[in-house]
């Protein structure tokens, strides 16, 4: 197996990680990334297989668990109940209960509300050049989740601040300051949600939180701690992915001179997620000795699934750097796959497919006012600014 070294915080890599992925993929399905100290899957077939192989999972093997540092206790008090970090049987139970509340019918009913919100945000655009991220891309997913939980819109900026602080824990540039900020956010977010959960238990409403409280399967319900973590996960994961996808997608459409309408929204949005996805690296642990793609994994060994590389595999996607919504090819892995397939994928797709056509319909002359730059967020991949002019 070939070894490669490239810092994920290197400015050139932040702006364009795809050449590095091409080098890894050319070496085979698996390669060793020195900077992460682990085997990484870069081909579409390897990522696809590992996402679905039950011999691998997100939950750290029990014998490898380390004591949590005191300053991180509030953060992990939340993370310890996250579907994203658990495997069966706890993951199965949590996911089943959440899906009883987060139904396709409830999500589909949000279409008119997302449409109205998009127009409302566009009506408030400033004159001249402005940054589309805070004006359009960031508010939509956080306000939609807030309304699902029946949290006032005025709380959206605070929810966004908490979300950004907690998600920063997964970034390659993480520091002690990052950790302390994430723990503060976890404590404050949990205290805020505890009040809402108590209120909904005594006075149920027609909202997602009330549905989560009421969800029951085989006599099982979500505990208060699980409810808090689930609400935080829905916001953090949904917000992070949708904002980056929307920003990356608008950038790509404007750079390639393309538009998007209601008629072609679905294929355009799927190609956006293949071409420049919001999450590039998803890690898993081996739960037993496994031989795959010429490598023998030991129990407890981590493997990195390079979702960003899988979407640019030339064996699956012809001319993969070309943005082509009309291409016919296998599905992308931007939402993961297998047991951990993103539970919020239908909502993310709806937000993109409703909001982006409205933006381009109202501003057919929309153009980039400065060269967009990606933020140092790896393993996330999103812009730091998206300055446009009408």
Whole-number Å distance between alpha carbons of 155 and 332: 34
Provide the residue range defining the domain that includes 246.
69-278+329-389
Whole-number Å distance between alpha carbons of 252 and 285: 34
Domain-embedded: residue 15? no
Domain-embedded: residue 175? yes
* Residues sharing a CB contact under 8 Å with residue 54, sequence separation 6 or more, in sequence order: 338, 339
- CA torsion, points 116, 119, 124, 125, in degrees to nearest 10? 150
Domain-embedded: residue 319? no
* Residues sharing a CB contact under 8 Å with residue 343, sequence separation 6 or more, in sequence order: 83, 95, 98, 99, 102, 234
Question: How do strand 3-4 and strand 30-33 relate by DSSP bridges?
Answer: parallel
Domain-embedded: residue 195? yes
The predicted structure's pLDDT at residue 253: 98
Helix spans in the chain (H): 11-15, 18-26, 44-52, 73-79, 90-101, 104-108, 111-123, 132, 139-148, 156-167, 176-202, 208-214, 224-256, 265-275, 307-310, 345-362
The predicted structure's pLDDT at residue 219: 81
Q: In Å, how far are 98, 104, 245, 265, 354 from 361, measured between CA atoms?
A: 35, 27, 19, 12, 11
Host H or E run for residue 295: strand 295-297
Domain-embedded: residue 230? yes
Residue from 78, 71, 68 nearest 191 by CA: 78
Whole-number Å distance between alpha carbons of 98 and 101: 5
The predicted structure's pLDDT at residue 238: 76
Whole-number Å distance between alpha carbons of 279 and 276: 9
Domain-embedded: residue 35? no
| Cβ–Cβ under 8 Å, residues 206 and 147 | no
Find the angle CA(176)-CA(380)-CA(122) to the nearest 5 degrees: 115
| Cβ–Cβ under 8 Å, residues 56 and 28 | no
Whole-number Å distance between alpha carbons of 279 and 253: 19
Domain-embedded: residue 40? no
Whole-number Å distance between alpha carbons of 158 and 151: 11
Total domains, the chain: 1
DSSP 380: B
Q: For residue range 241-253, list pLDDT tens digits in order.
A: 999 999 999 999 9
| Cβ–Cβ under 8 Å, residues 336 and 307 | yes
* CATH code at position 119: 1.10.630.10
Strand arrangement of the beta sheet that strand 367-368 belongs to: 130-131, 387-389, 367-368
Domain-embedded: residue 79? yes
For each successive 10 residues of the chain (390 residues), what is the average pLDDT?
A: 97 98 98 98 98 97 94 96 95 93 92 97 97 97 92 91 96 97 98 93 91 84 94 88 97 97 98 98 97 97 98 98 95 96 95 98 97 98 97
The predicted structure's pLDDT at residue 220: 85
């Amino acid at each position: 197996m070939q070894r490669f070294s490239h810092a994920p915080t290197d400015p050139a890599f932040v702006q364009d990680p795809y050449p590095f992925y091409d080098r890894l993929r050319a070496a085979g399905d698996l390669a060793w990334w020195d900077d992460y100290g682990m085997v990484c899957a870069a081909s579409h077939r390897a990522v696809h297989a590992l996402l679905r192989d039950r011999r691998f999972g997100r939950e750290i093997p029990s014998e490898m668990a380390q004591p949590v540092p005191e300053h991180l206790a509030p953060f992990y008090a939340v993370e310890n109940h996250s579907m994203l970090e658990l495997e069966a049987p706890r993951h199965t139970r949590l996911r089943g209960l959440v899906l009883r509340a987060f139904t396709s019918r409830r999500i589909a009913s949000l279409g008119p509300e997302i449409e109205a919100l998009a127009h409302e945000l566009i009506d408030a655009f400033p004159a001249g050049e402005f940054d589309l991220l805070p004006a359009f891309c960031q508010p939509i997913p956080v306000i939609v989740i807030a309304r699902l939980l029946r949290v006032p819109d005025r709380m959206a900026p605070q929810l966004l601040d908490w979300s950004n602080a907690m998600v920063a824990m997964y970034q390659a540039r993480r520091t002690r300051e990052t950790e302390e900020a994430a723990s503060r956010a976890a404590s404050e977010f949990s205290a805020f949600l505890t009040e809402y959960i108590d209120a909904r238990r005594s006075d149920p409403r027609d909202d997602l939180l009330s549905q989560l409280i009421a969800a029951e399967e085989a006599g099982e319900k979500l505990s208060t701690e699980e409810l808090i973590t689930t609400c935080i996960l829905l916001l953090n994961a949904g917000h992070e992915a949708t904002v980056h996808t929307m920003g990356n997608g608008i950038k790509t459409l404007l750079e390639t001179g393309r538009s998007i309408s209601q008629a072609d929204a679905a294929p355009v949005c799927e190609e956006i997620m293949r071409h420049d996805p919001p999450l590039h690296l998803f890690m898993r642990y081996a739960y037993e000795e496994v031989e795959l793609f010429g490598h023998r994994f030991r129990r407890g060994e981590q493997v990195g699934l390079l979702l960003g590389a899988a979407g640019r595999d030339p064996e699956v996607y012809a001319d993969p750097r070309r943005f082509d919504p009309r291409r016919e090819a296998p599905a992308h892995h931007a939402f993961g796959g297998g047991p951990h397939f993103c539970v919020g994928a239908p909502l993310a797709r709806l937000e993109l497919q409703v909001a982006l056509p409205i933006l381009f319909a109202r501003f057919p002359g929309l153009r980039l006012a400065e060269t967009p730059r990606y933020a140092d967020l790896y393993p996330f991949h999103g812009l730091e600014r998206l300055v446009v002019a009408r």
